[in-house]
Chain A
Amino acid sequence: MAKNSDKNTIKDIELCQGIRLSKSTFEAKENRLLTLLVKGVVVYLLSMGSIGFYLSAFSIEYNTFVCHVVVLLMALASAMLYYRLLTENVGYLIVLALFCVLVYKFRTYINSGFYAIVNITTDGAAQYFNIDIQRIYAEQIENRYVTITFAVLFIGVVLDIFLNVYISRRMQYVTVIFCIMGLNMVPLYLVFEPDGIYSIMVLGGIALAYVFRSGKHYSPQVSIKRDDIKYKEKARKRKKNKPVEISYVYDAKAMVNAGIIALAFVVALVPVVSAFKPKDSFNVGYQGNKYKQLTMAAVSTILMDGLTGFFRMSRDVGGLESGKLGQVSTIRLDYQTDLVVQLTPYTLDRIYFKGFTGVQYNPYANSWTSIKNINGINEQEISAEAQALKDEYLEGYEYSAQAIIRVNNVEDDVIYKPYYCYSYEENRQFLDMLIYPRFEESKVLVNEEYYEGAPYSAADLYVPPENIEAVESFINQLDDPLNNKQVIQQVIDYYQENYPYTIQPGKTPYRQDFVNDFLMEKKKGYCSHYASAAVLIFRYMGIPARYVEGYAIDLEQIYNAELVEGAEYKDYYDGYSQLGETALISVNVTDADAHAWVEVYDPVKGWYPLEVTPYSTTTEEEQDDFWSMFADMMDDTGNTGDGVVDNALGGGAVINKVVKNTVYILAFILLLGLTIIVLIKTYVWLRYMLMISRANLNDKLIYKYQQFCKTKKKKDKSFIEKINYRQQLEYLTENIAKEDSVEDIEKSREKTIAILEKAGFSQDIISQDEYDYVINWCKENA
């Protein structure tokens, strides 16, 4: 190279005897700005292309305009960081800080967006594998358009920064291909094809990176540095006959030219290929790859159960786990048959199969302790209600009946008993349950005589002190009830109106109580939430209540059930039936039918099941558009998008919040600006100090004097016109000349000038005394 590493100076290169290549060859500069912009465009094509690739494959909607603009700007800004070493180091710090703040601020949206994308992907997978997979992650904000936009912005910015490292430095297209196509294999595996434009963007970006890499740019033969020189000498072994080889490093115009050709090639070819082999009919008649089919079973298991699906240790009962609460973020269903029930339909109501009865609620441990462990009652013993109903049946009461329901628990050994089971016996794989159903019309009185002891204990009325406040707060929202029936109805109604049902309530936060979190914070949930809270509310209002888990069969399932051939109705049912004489049917009960409900004690009916879970799936208000959500997104309470909270605050509160958030943002920007200024000043100061520490007295004096002049010029505009030491010092002594002796002043001035000239132009090093003299002189005459 024409560079002398010791002196860092460029020299001519001797081509032959008497002819040299001038060093001015290496003084040519490339258009660095345009070069970086081109690199930024490549990064944009790759990052936004890959995101759009994935999202368009699943037809996920988001604000494409905003995302494209932001990702493009960020890509260009990231590329610009490589303008100088300083911009790279400081720029990355600023970008990182800003990014962290924004991510923290909008974390709820980004999180929800991610969950939405994953859930949509899961839905797509369910569609492809023809399996039932429910949404896995809880989306705290329902408006997917907004949340996905945020998630895309987040991914886009991260990709911009990440890919920029590989693209701007070494154009490492192979690494980039594996990075961006890794995740994009998911939609392709599930036979979801992206939109053509994103295919073009991804392929165009890769083509650009490939062409640039294959050209002279980034050639390993040319050492790349963070400067903007246009030509470099190729590293060569000093052999006599080897010619001098000079290579250009970057040429923005050439990059644009080649880039346009590569992009045009991709843009032209993709539609042609698509026209020749349309996307929609591409796989028509294709039987599938047998090796892919081999992987599908494993993939579907992962999709349903995650990686733990390969190591399933516990049964899956629709998010219910024998009284353990709040562990499930989202109810994940496998739709595998848990119970097979054979019965003769007899009621329009839901039929419950009880498997677990919780009496004692354990706040913060978030669990119910089973009745077996509290009262010593064996759940499998004959219940008082069943006894009373049997008596009525035997007496031939009009609305009484006797039935045999056959239950086969295929999943585990827990016995699920329908209401009101008198006894059961094993019959091959089934348990034949003898039950005495209770109808709405029934007047059977289950008085205390039927109970061995008291019908309920103190535990059935106990509300833990930790939950009192939440329960009272809830009850305060209700009207003043007159009796238990009204209490129950009001709770159910209030749930229906204000506590939307969702299978994605999210896990109960760490060290939070399940019921309190539901009643006070989340205000939405699934059956366990409603049942657990209702039990405590009822108890607080003096109604004995218990928490029950099991399965519930609706009439709709009964209608869709299979008939059991060769079974006689009379062998399975006798007595009153709301549905008349039916046939024996077989119902496959899955974990989708798993349920939690409340058992309430009534002096007439005894203990009976009560449904408190609302029927609707969700009633959360969704905001209409991006910008209305955007206006709310400054709210960091995590309740954005929840109309209940916003409405409750009222207009004034909203304005206060907006003002508060605006102040926060302004303060943040101010702080950030100040931090940047301080950083830059610190850097400049450190550099100055470093320079001073290394300099000899001559240089030190000149630095100091320059600083002095700089300060003076800021204060006095006339001083700017003084261009040399003499003019500057004469100007400084103009005013004081009147006060002091002119001779002395002139003498000191001339000495100062002499020292400065010696320091500035001479090889001789000034003495410490001379240095001090000038410094003091400057101070005195400042």
Chain B
Amino acid sequence: MLIGDIMENLFRAVGYIILLAINIIAYWFLHSHFHFIVLVIMISAPIFSLLMALQLRKHIQSKVVSNCLKGEYGMQNQESFFLVKLINKTLWASLDVKLTLEVQNEFFGTKGDLVFSVPIYSKKGYELQIPIVPELPGRLSVTLKEIKIKDLMGFFFLKKKMEEKGELVVMPEPINQEISDKTYYETGMLESEESSKKGNDFSDVQEIREYIPGDKLMSIHWKLSAKRDILMVKDRVSMSDKQLVVLPELCNANMYQLNSILTTTYSLISTLVKDKLNVRLMYWSKNRFEYEDIRIDYVEALNEAFGKMFYEECYQDMGEAASHMPLVHPEMKSYLHISADGGRVNVVVRENA
């Protein structure tokens, strides 16, 4: 219990004792029936209050549920709601119940404490809605560690361990098209010349031609168009018959790098899935010491896959996922490896050799 609370309760108790003493003196002096009643009330009230709080502590139950507004998953940088339900079936109430909550991103391993003071209604309890804004994707949890019930007279705090937990999987915030272009450009994915030089471009550019109405905006080669003062587009080879393996590195050595890897992976697969490409998401499971391989055909499957992935434990070595590939999956020719280096996210097609 915090020192401030102890002092406050102590101060109140001393004040009460002074009032009681004054009443005793008044009763002794006046011998009035009224002061006798006051005396009985003043002596019995703290006992009643304590018994009430004990009863309350005994019967109070709790539940923590996530209450996301948009489907079953939360979204990075968007409000997600956790509902802490205190169920009180007794007649008693309290005006001050301290809920000690632990808010955690279990995938990233970050956590913080939060204390909420709420009342408890008789026969109902209380429902506290906590709006959380996750800045990182992962598995967000709110755990009600303990509650401290203050009696109505304000003399006691009664503790009760609860360990009620509510969880919510938070998806990375997909990068929009404009940013996506830029990012891809920056990472070199859509820079056909750069990709060709490296010889590892999975989406070979067949030719660069002039823009024909009906072409996708994302196919426009903006840089070249700017140079030539005419819209040029990149004509790509159809990849619908190929299956792309995406291997993100779940390295938590740097939280922001991991966030960027996850965001890029999510955005990339999401885009590919929307383009009706078959994608396999593979990641290295540190716990089971093997690859987890999930086929993703649609966005819901992507969310499920990420939800599952967020239960994994991150590792510290950035190249760990790629390093096991030749041994575990020697049949694999190439895959798309997503890693980070400094402030950059590297998305490269890596040959399994």
Query: Which of A's residues lie within 8 Å of B, judged by CB?
Result: 12, 14-22, 24-25, 174, 177, 185, 188-189, 191, 193-194, 199, 203, 207, 210-217, 219-221, 234, 243-248, 251, 253-255, 257-258, 260-262, 265-266, 269-270, 273-274, 277, 279, 282-283, 286, 288-289, 291-292
Contact = CB atoms under 8 A, between A and B. Distances in A.
B130 A25 contact: yes
Nearest to A286: B31
Contacts of B138: 18
B172 interface: no
A191 B264 CA distance: 86
Contact of B153 (A211, A216, A220, A255): A211
A277 B132 CA distance: 58
Nearest to B105: A18
B49 to A, nearest CB: 9
Given A22-B132, A211-B152, A215-B96, A282 B36 contact: yes
Interface residues on chain B, size class: 35 or more
Given A216-B119, A248-B118, A289 B29 contact: yes
Given A215-B152, A262-B152, A269-B41, A194 B34 contact: yes
B118 to A, nearest CB: 6
A214 B132 contact: no
A254 B92 CA distance: 11
Interface string B148-164: 00101110000000000
Contacts of A177: 19
Interface stretch (B107-115, B214-222, B233-241, B331-339): B107-115
Contacts of A274: 33, 37
A289 B27 CA distance: 10
B95 A19 contact: no
A258 B95 contact: yes
Given A21-B131, A214-B153, A245 B115 contact: yes
B260 to A, nearest CB: 13
Most buried by A among B32, B34, B37: B34
A20 B37 contact: no
Contacts of A260: 122
Interface in B119-166: 119-122, 130-136, 138, 140, 150, 152-154
A16 B101 CA distance: 13
B113 A254 contact: no
A735 to B, nearest CB: 49
A506 B122 CA distance: 59
A89 B111 CA distance: 47
B311 interface: no
* Ranked 5 nearest A-B pairs via Cβ: A215-B95, A214-B154, A16-B112, A254-B119, A243-B113
25 contacts: A15-B103, A17-B255, A19-B104, A19-B140, A21-B132, A25-B130, A189-B30, A193-B32, A199-B37, A203-B37, A203-B41, A207-B45, A211-B153, A214-B12, A243-B115, A244-B114, A245-B115, A246-B114, A254-B121, A257-B122, A265-B45, A277-B36, A288-B31, A289-B28, A292-B29
A14 B136 CA distance: 13
Given A254-B119, A257-B93, A188 B79 contact: no
A246 B134 contact: no
Interface of B: 4, 8, 12, 15, 19, 26, 28-38, 40-41, 44-45, 48, 52, 79, 91-96, 100, 103-105, 108, 110-122, 130-136, 138, 140, 150, 152-154, 255
Nearest to B16: A210
Most buried by A among B95, B120, B135, B136: B95
Given A17-B255, A174-B19, A243 B45 contact: no
A269 B49 CA distance: 14
Nearest to B153: A214
A270 B134 contact: no
B134 A19 contact: yes
A295 to B, nearest CB: 9
Contact of B152 (A24, A191, A258, A291): A258
A473 to B, nearest CB: 55
Contacts of A265: 41, 45, 48
Nearest to B12: A214
Nearest to B97: A216
B60 to A, nearest CB: 14
Contact of B93 (A216, A254, A269): A254
B95 A214 contact: yes
Contacts of A14: 112
Most buried by A among B31, B37, B40, B111: B37
A73 B124 CA distance: 31
A275 to B, nearest CB: 11
A259 to B, nearest CB: 9
A16 B133 CA distance: 11
